[in-house]
Structures are given as structure tokens and as C-alpha cells.
Chain A
């Protein structure tokens, strides 16, 4: 039901034809719905082409939470792939943390995306990957600090899901708002040093040289699950070990964790056994 334009409503500054529907925060242009879709999709296409993000034939997983950002991402990826013949094999990849009333609802949205865009969907769950749902973790450790588990596990779950799908790349719907949010949160927390440090790192990174005699650190793998890690055990395994041993605070805060313990051979052997019985480590990495 199209209403007639009010006398004072302005026309789109791009097409000069339709009624402007929004002021684009990025450019402050007042544009109509159709022109917004056009410039938004064209800009993303330009970024993909200019930075050579993809090669024909690549398999790409789209991290899909069911929220607005990843839903837009799934639409844009499938639309641009079709329109510009990128030649990509696209997949939807979702993580089920096991939070009743939250993720089970949003996974329904992802299932709709699967049908709407005709993209195969893979759901990996904390319960099958780690033997624990977030509901169970919260029951054990309470509402404080549970974000640490959720965040560490989700990042790894996305990687594991990507490996299962044998994709070459994983795209996520993070946007400039999310980056701004992280920086602002750091400042509000009184951590002025962190955003400053990020800017300094970017600046000095531009002039970065590595001495030829320096031995470069190598990315290792977790001794327990085989996931990439710069420590002996990856963070997820440290947290899991804490959960399985009934010491959920292990790996949170500054306490000495697995990686700083010296005589843990026997304990680790036990840990590995319970790990196998819990189905972790059955995934190839």
C-alpha cells in the first residue's frame, strides 16, 4: 500500500525519482530503498574484486547466526556470486551453543535462509564438539564468566565446522559497528591503552621489518585436540579440562592453568582419556 509522498518529503539524491527513505550514515546521502540496495551491493562487490578475496571454484562457508548481519551476508554473498559469476560454492555454517530459548530460535531463521537462498547448511553444536552445552556450563559456573567459555568455544567451533565442510574460506558478518563497539568498550572500561596500542601497531606495522637472523615463532597445534594453538594446550581444551575436572575456574583470569603446570603428565593422560570418551578429538584437523 503505497502512500502518496508528503509535500515536504525529499527525493533520492541518486536517482532523483523516488522518495528518499533513509540517510546513509556513511555518506549522509538521502537515498531511496532501491538505490541503497544498489550502492550497498556494488560497494561490497568492489571490495571483493579490488582485494581479490575469492578465486573461482573456492568453497566458502558463511558464518550464520540467524541475526540480521549474517542474514544480510548470506543474501549478499549468494546474490553477488550469482550476479557476477564468482564461481563459488557457498555453505551456511551455524554454531549451536545449546542455549535454550535463544539459539534454537535463531537457528530456525538460518533454516529459512537455507531454503530461501538454496545454500546447504551445517550446524555444529557445543554438545557434540565439546560434550557440554552452554546451559550445562552456566549451571556449573553461574552467569559470571560464562562468556569466556562461549566465546572461546564458538571461535573454535566455526573453524572446526569450516574444516568439516572442507571450505577454503570462512566469511562472517562483522561490520564497522562491531569494530567500533570493541574499541569503545575498551575505552569505557578505562582501557585507553588498548585502542591506542592497536593504532600504534597498525602504524608501526607499516614499517615492520624482521631481522634475517631472527627465528620466527611457529604456529603449533594443541597436544590434546590438534587445533591450532600457540600454547601446549589450546584455550578451549584448558577450559574443557576445567569443566571435566569440576574446576571450572581453570583457565579464567590469572590463575596458573594447564600451560603453566609442570608435573601434569599423569593428569593429562587421564584428561586425554576422558576427552576421547567425550567424542572430542574425533575431528580431523
Chain B
């Protein structure tokens, strides 16, 4: 399944400062669908290059990280249970900054 990932608000620093990633990821063996929960663990293993704790906490994103699936807050699509489809776009934006 082809997906577009985008990292912003500083999160791109965790993946070699590359903001946009075109990825190809398939549902795990025995699963029919790819959920955000699956995607997050895939991203952690394959996209994040350093300090994964700045991106994830437990099996979800760290508090303060905004997640948009097709430009919609993932709170409205079921968060970790959100089912992804071909060509979906997922955006991660950190809202945590110094000050």
C-alpha cells in the first residue's frame, strides 16, 4: 500500500531532516487491514532514525504530536484504530517547542 508521510514542527529532525516520505507498507501477516497502530510501529522501525522517544510513547504518538489522516485530525477517524487506504496521506506535526 502506498502512503505519503509528512513530518513537521521539528519531527523531521528525527528522520534526517526529510519532511516528506513516499512509503510502501503492507498489512502484517494474517491481517487484512493496515491501521494507524500498525503504521506507527512501522514508522518507528523504518523511518525514524534517532530519538524515537521524541515521536512515540507506548504504542501511540507522544502527547503534543498532532496527527492528520488526509488532512483530518485522527481524533475524528479513530486514532490508533484508523484504517488506512491506498494513497492516504498522514501528517505528523510536533507542537512542542521551547520558549
Is there a chain A Cβ closer than 8 Å to B41's Cβ? no
A9 to B99, CA, bound (A): 36
Which residue of the partner chain, among B9, B70, B76, B99, contacts A10 with CB atoms under 8 Å?
Answer: B76
Interface residues of A in 205-238 (CB under 8 A from B): none
Interface 9-mer from A15-23, A76-84, A122-130: A15-23
On whether the beta carbons of B75 and A21 are closer than 8 Å, the reply is no
Is there a chain A Cβ closer than 8 Å to B57's Cβ? no
A30 to B76, CA, bound (A): 8
A22 to B75, CA, bound (A): 8
- Which A residue sits closest to B85, measured CB to CB? A6
Against B, the Cβ 8 Å flags (1 = close, 0 = not) of A1-16 are 0010010111000000
Contacts A67-B97, A178-B99 hold; do A23 and B70 have CB atoms under 8 A apart? Answer: no
Task: Give the distance to chain B from A152, nearest Cβ to Cβ, in Å.
Answer: 15
Residues in B whose Cβ lies below 8 Å from that of A3: 70, 87-88
On whether the beta carbons of B76 and A20 are closer than 8 Å, the reply is yes
Against A, the Cβ 8 Å flags (1 = close, 0 = not) of B70-99 are 111101110000000101100000000101
A33 to B70, CA, bound (A): 12
- Which A residue sits closest to B66, measured CB to CB? A22
- Which B residue sits closest to A151, measured CB to CB? B99
A22 to B85, CA, bound (A): 20
A181 to B99, CA, bound (A): 10
Residues in A whose Cβ lies below 8 Å from that of B70: 3
On whether the beta carbons of B76 and A22 are closer than 8 Å, the reply is yes
On whether the beta carbons of B71 and A9 are closer than 8 Å, the reply is no
A23 to B73, CA, bound (A): 7
A67 to B72, CA, bound (A): 22
A30 to B73, CA, bound (A): 10
Which residue of the partner chain, among A10, A33, A178, A181, contacts B71 with CB atoms under 8 Å?
Answer: A33
A33 to B76, CA, bound (A): 13
A74 to B3, CA, bound (A): 34
B residues bordering A, Cβ < 8 Å?
A: 9, 70-73, 75-77, 85, 87-88, 97, 99
Q: Could you list 24 examples of A-B contacts with CB < 8 Å?
A: A3-B87, A3-B88, A6-B77, A8-B77, A9-B72, A9-B76, A9-B77, A10-B76, A19-B72, A20-B72, A20-B76, A21-B71, A21-B73, A21-B76, A22-B73, A22-B75, A22-B76, A23-B73, A23-B75, A30-B76, A33-B71, A68-B9, A178-B99, A181-B99
With contacts A6-B77, A9-B77, A23-B73 known, what are 7 further pairs, Cβ within 8 A? A3-B88, A10-B76, A20-B76, A21-B71, A33-B71, A68-B9, A178-B99
